[in-house]
Structure 1
Amino acid sequence: MGMFERDQHVFADAGPLDDSYEPEDIRERDDELAKYQRALQPIIDNRPTSNIFLYGKTGTGKTVATKYMLSHLESDAAQYDDVDLSIVWTSCENLSSSYQVAVALVNELRDAQDADRISTTGYSQQRVFDLLYDELDALGGTAIIVLDEIDNIGDSDDLLYGLPRARSNGYVDNVQPVIIGISNDFQFRDSLSPKVKDTLAEKEILFPPYNANQLRSILSPRADKAFHDGVLSEDVVPLCAAFAAQDTGSARQAIRLLREAGELAQAEDASTIAEDHVRDAQDELEKNQLYEGMQELTPQGHAVLCALAYHQALGEIPVRSRDLYQRYTSICDRLDADRVSERRVRDHLSDLNMLGLITVYERNEGLSAGRYHEYELDVPLQAVLDVLLATSRFEDVADHIRSTAADQNRLQSDFSSY
């Protein structure tokens, strides 16, 4: 017998439990899809089309809904000779400025034409924008530009001002750009400059978290395809849905929980996936989600986390937001990054609290000092540094924090204290 043998008992087809799986239909998003269809309909009618922004936390169906709607739009547009449609899709996950997004778009368009790519340095921002306008104008018709995780660009929103005005400013003649922005941050629009808010004139579609019943509806057809008959106990799918609904309302979390439970059952050579497998899978994924939650923060979120990690390394915790803000501005200056207001830093701290990464203490010292909040990490400092060290922009600062923590003997090597 070999060390590795092909599974014949648990998984029939694990594809439906993969993050990249695209379902044939989108469940539990009828209202959102109807709004999406109305927003895209002018393209078929050859009418002016508004930009579209989708908001919602990770795993609420924004990206999969966009792929589904644009696939149908592209297919239906092919029926009309007078509809010329192009779609350009760029993930902004590792892009933190309009300049970087514009370079990525130019290269995406040039890759499609097997043309030479441009480098990420050596050009002025306006030159990169001009190259992008040239590439788009060569497409003609309507060009839908999908910017996934657009909130990563933070305050660097020049592209969101330039693209919608490209035609009226004479930068393009033959193309009508339409932006579809996908954001995990409900407050992203608040961080945009007033001129960008006015220029975008976008349709907004909100994707709320799923509830337990909706998650059961999403999980059930995937489970039917993924597992052999008779493998799943009746309470497995409802329990996966309940855990995810209570935590984040994320379909992605529910699907990963179901897959992890199956893998645990497979490792035990169990004949069925039971409730205990789901509970063990939940414990395992909680640790992984901490890392993932930190990795998916925006650059501004990373800067706030970095500032708190610095205070943690020095033992200056819990720390008030006003003191934390001073450290945050120093980090931004060191990184040559844009700052946000103290109010926005408090918003980021609220997000970190919701992710379970920090603890917030409310203090009330009466008339003398009033009511205020203090913050400290709720995960090991080493776990935070591991994520920051893997993020190139914060590597040097994280390395300095690690040295500081080592001097203070404040590092923990694992999740043992969690």
Structure 2
Amino acid sequence: MSGPFSNVTDTIFDEKQVLTENYQPEKILERDEEIEEYRFALQDVLFGRDPENIMLYGKAGLGKTAVTKYMMTALKDEVTTRDSADELTVHELNCNGKTLFMVVRTLVNDLLPDHASPFPKRGLGTGDAFEELYKRLDRVGGTHLMVFDEIDHLDDANTLLYEIPRAKSNGHITQSKIGVIGISNNYTFRRSLSPKVKDTLMETEISFSPYDAPELQTILSTRAARAFVEGACDESAINLAAAIAARDMGNARQAIDLLRTGAEAALKAGDDCVQEQHIKEARDIVKRGQLTTRIRDQTQHAQYILESVARLEAAGRTPARTRDIQHRYQTVANSWGTDPLTTLKSVQDHLSDLHMLGFLRRSEQNKGESGGRYFEYQSELDPELILDVRERIEHGDTLDNR
């Protein structure tokens, strides 16, 4: 007796995983300049010297994390061939949704021997966690590179980026060396750091620019050669996916999503080759998924403020002044069981960032001596779509929009 899956055949895909976000390519394409900057910044590790601190900037999907994983793997391999290099340990953490205590606790647990009990989640403070971290670093010894992905989402990045780089000069560690690698989607993140942190870091900055269409074509062609069976993807589909992504944000992740989703559209239609029309079908699907990711990538309070503007827009009350948005934001934050930020300046900063990222449209008003000058904001995106995405985020919906 046949079942619902008995007639399923794989007529298009060979290695579909190469079109997923989790796939780590063996060779990084179209990022030679960034890799060279990275290589130069990391070379001291090979000679047993203190590593430089590094900050990577660029929007999501531009290869920051993939290049970092590639460089860490290559560096660890090279260290084993160098007599002058110390033993290297790489710690990789994503800071999105984490508190400072959670990050430091994770670092401590990474350094504990297998038989040891983990550092407690409760009962001790962040200062205790830092003290234990320094103790464990010296017990392990060697060189430690701490990679903090999405560091701009950490609740207290200032403290982390002050404490760890200064651990040796402050006498907290004597038997180990530390380098910090921060990855941020926010180009203005450094401006939010205190002057003493900036002086402490003295970091190398590596900026990742958007891909152009030919670069995306190269990336997609290489992936397609492995992802599809022979003859299952037309070159025109690759070119269209690259062109759409290049015109939008220059985002490799978006281009790859377009190609994969187009292939799935072809499968549903019973076609055995991905063509331009399948990529066009995929465009609307991916656009919604891309917005979900972009909103999810924002900090919790930035999401609340974006939701507040969307609710005002849906009610026909935009463009709105900052104080009106602040009042709605307080209601939104409380509705999700979170204490709102208390200062108008905090709300202004988030509105400015959301404007810079393309979520909001901002206009300056000048009412003269009687009314003064001020900004008004409205959504650049469909407010109903924002509200739908926010609802699903808050209820833990992990399903994509495909």
In the TM superposition, what is the alpha-carbon distance from 1:182 to its structure 2 partner? 0.8
Q: Provide the residue aligned with 1:163 in structure 2.
A: 164
In the TM superposition, what is the alpha-carbon distance from 1:47 to its structure 2 partner? 2.4
Classify 1:114/1:256 alpha carbon distance in 2 versus 1 (closer, same or farther; 3 Å).
Answer: farther
Q: Secondary structure at the match of 2:180?
A: strand
Whole-angstrom CA distance in 2 between matches of 1:328 and 1:155: 22
What does residue range 233-252 of structure 1 map to in structure 2 within 5 Å? 233-252=234-253
Q: Secondary structure at the match of 2:56?
A: strand
In the TM superposition, what is the alpha-carbon distance from 1:6 to its structure 2 partner? 4.4
In the TM superposition, what is the alpha-carbon distance from 1:245 to its structure 2 partner? 0.9
Classify 1:70/1:364 alpha carbon distance in 2 versus 1 (closer, same or farther; 3 Å).
Answer: same
Q: Provide the residue aligned with 1:290 in structure 2.
A: 291
Q: Provide the residue aligned with 1:349 in structure 2.
A: 354
Q: Provide the residue aligned with 2:107 in structure 1.
A: 105
Classify 1:118/1:307 alpha carbon distance in 2 versus 1 (closer, same or farther; 3 Å).
Answer: farther
Given the alignment of the two structures, is residue 93 of structure 1 paired with residue 96 of structure 2, yes or no? yes
In the TM superposition, what is the alpha-carbon distance from 1:173 to its structure 2 partner? 1.4
Whole-angstrom CA distance in 2 between matches of 1:331 and 1:232: 46
In the TM superposition, what is the alpha-carbon distance from 1:133 to its structure 2 partner? 1.3
Given the alignment of the two structures, is residue 374 of structure 1 paired with residue 377 of structure 2, yes or no? yes
Classify 1:85/1:134 alpha carbon distance in 2 versus 1 (closer, same or farther; 3 Å).
Answer: same
Q: Name the aligned partner's letter for residue 195 of structure 1.
A: K
Of 39, 42, 45, 1:43 maps to: 45
Q: Any conservation in 2 of the 1:155–1:191 contact (CA below 8 Å)?
A: no
In the TM superposition, what is the alpha-carbon distance from 1:345 to its structure 2 partner? 2.3
Q: Secondary structure at the match of 1:57?
A: coil
Q: Secondary structure at the match of 1:146?
A: strand
Classify 1:316/1:120 alpha carbon distance in 2 versus 1 (closer, same or farther; 3 Å).
Answer: farther
Q: Deviations over 1:290-329 (max 9, x none)?
A: 2222111123422422443564576643312343245557
Whole-angstrom CA distance in 2 between matches of 1:168 and 1:160: 14
Classify 1:134/1:240 alpha carbon distance in 2 versus 1 (closer, same or farther; 3 Å).
Answer: same
Given the alignment of the two structures, is residue 20 of structure 1 paired with residue 25 of structure 2, yes or no? no
In the TM superposition, what is the alpha-carbon distance from 1:90 to its structure 2 partner? 1.0
Q: Any conservation in 1 of the 2:313–2:383 contact (CA below 8 Å)?
A: no
Of 333, 339, 343, 1:335 maps to: 339
Q: Provide the residue aligned with 2:305 in structure 1.
A: 304
Q: Provide the residue aligned with 2:226 in structure 1.
A: 225
Q: Provide the residue aligned with 2:262 in structure 1.
A: 261
Classify 1:324/1:363 alpha carbon distance in 2 versus 1 (closer, same or farther; 3 Å).
Answer: same
Q: Any conservation in 2 of the 1:321–1:375 contact (CA below 8 Å)?
A: no
Q: Provide the residue aligned with 1:181 in structure 2.
A: 182
Q: TM-score with structure 1 length normalisation?
A: 0.85
Q: Provide the residue aligned with 2:391 in structure 1.
A: 386
Q: Deviations over 1:143-185 (max 9, x none)?
A: 0111111111145421111001111111111111111111111
Q: Secondary structure at the match of 1:157?
A: helix
Q: Deviations over 1:57-114 (max 9, x none)?
A: 111001110111111110010012342211111111221x32221122223333x635
Q: Name the aligned partner's letter for residue 255 of structure 2.
A: A
Q: Name the aligned partner's letter for residue 383 of structure 1.
A: D
Whole-angstrom CA distance in 1 between matches of 2:196 and 2:97: 25
Q: Secondary structure at the match of 1:235?
A: helix
Whole-angstrom CA distance in 2 between matches of 1:228 and 1:203: 43
Q: Secondary structure at the match of 2:235?
A: coil
Q: Provide the residue aligned with 1:406 in structure 2.
A: none
Q: Provide the residue aligned with 1:55 in structure 2.
A: 57
Classify 1:260/1:388 alpha carbon distance in 2 versus 1 (closer, same or farther; 3 Å).
Answer: closer
Whole-angstrom CA distance in 1 between matches of 2:283 and 2:40: 39
* Number of equivalences: 387
Whole-angstrom CA distance in 1 between matches of 2:219 and 2:314: 43
Gaps of 5+ in 1: 393-414
Q: Name the aligned partner's letter for residue 373 of structure 1.
A: E
Of residues 381-390 and 70-79 in structure 1, the stretch that sits farther from structure 2 once superposed is: 381-390
Q: Secondary structure at the match of 1:242?
A: helix
In the TM superposition, what is the alpha-carbon distance from 1:209 to its structure 2 partner? 1.0
Q: Any conservation in 1 of the 2:151–2:157 contact (CA below 8 Å)?
A: no
Q: Provide the residue aligned with 1:78 in structure 2.
A: 80
Whole-angstrom CA distance in 2 between matches of 1:154 and 1:186: 17
Given the alignment of the two structures, is residue 119 of structure 1 paired with residue 120 of structure 2, yes or no? yes
Whole-angstrom CA distance in 2 between matches of 1:85 and 1:385: 41
Q: Provide the residue aligned with 1:191 in structure 2.
A: 192
Q: Deviations over 1:229-279 (max 9, x none)?
A: 111122111101111111111111111110011111111110211111000
RMSD: 2.7
Q: Provide the residue aligned with 1:200 in structure 2.
A: 201
Q: Secondary structure at the match of 1:271?
A: coil
Q: Any conservation in 1 of the 2:311–2:387 contact (CA below 8 Å)?
A: no
Classify 1:201/1:12 alpha carbon distance in 2 versus 1 (closer, same or farther; 3 Å).
Answer: same
